[in-house]
Structure 1
Amino acid sequence: MSALLAALPGHADPGPFTGLAGTWSGGGTVALEDGSTERIRCRANYGASSTRMNLVLTCASDAYKFGLQADLAAEGSAISGSWTETSRGVSGILQGRGGGGNFQLVATTAGFNANIAIATRGNKQSVSIRADSQFRAANISLSR
């Protein structure tokens, strides 16, 4: 249907980032390499147009904090860009696919890989991060 609308005069393809712009907040859990888990509070800010998105995600508990910044571009459903984990000064590339509020991304840098899944339904969003490092996983539920 979106391809049909994009072909009609006056109807542009909305792009994969449409509907994400704004501030989201919520919480979840983070799992660490030693097997411990922490409850976290999170805030995400999306600056999004149809084909570009800037994300700032900050999560913290009493003993743990992480910050993720990403600058992404879309070409069709292919997503690529860069990321930085601000509290540790680590950065790398992001690649994956997405659209319709759902994204499957892989963040990589030397010695680190993480799978990131984002699923958005209306004003609710879930973010799942799985990594192969000291930071093992995060499951976050956000709303706006």
Structure 2
Amino acid sequence: MQTVLDAVPGTLVERMGIEFVEVTAERLVATMPVAGNTQPYGLLHGGASVVLAETLGSFGAMLSAGEGRVAVGVDINATHHRSARDGLVTAVATRVSAGRTLASYEVVVSDAQGRRVCTSRITCLLRDAVPGA
């Protein structure tokens, strides 16, 4: 049986160095290096934090959707609290709700010292997969 993580090679997830530590429908944890994901000033790019958050929330929503269903992101927001300059950031996505048609996750991105860098919320539409797609 193929898992959501089989879709990682050759994607933005691989390019950004995102590595999964824990994956369940209720909670996902992943790390990402700051190096290579910075803005010109040497700080972690806010967009990189959002990519990390959307990756975890989308994968969680796919797991919540179940067999024969897909998840499609419909909303994401992010509040950036502080910068990160080096090391790894760690994201923890916690399922807020999941029903037949929507799944929402809160994602907290923290630096190597455990300080909150970003808080994000993502909502995905859950729908039946298109046959043959």
Same topology, TM > 0.5: no
Query: What TM bracket, shorter-length normalisation?
Result: 0.3 to 0.5
More helix by share: 2
Q: What TM-score do you get using the length of structure 1 for normalisation?
A: 0.32
Larger Rg: 1
Task: Name the structure, 1 or 2, with higher relative contact order (CA <8 Å, separation 6+).
Answer: 2
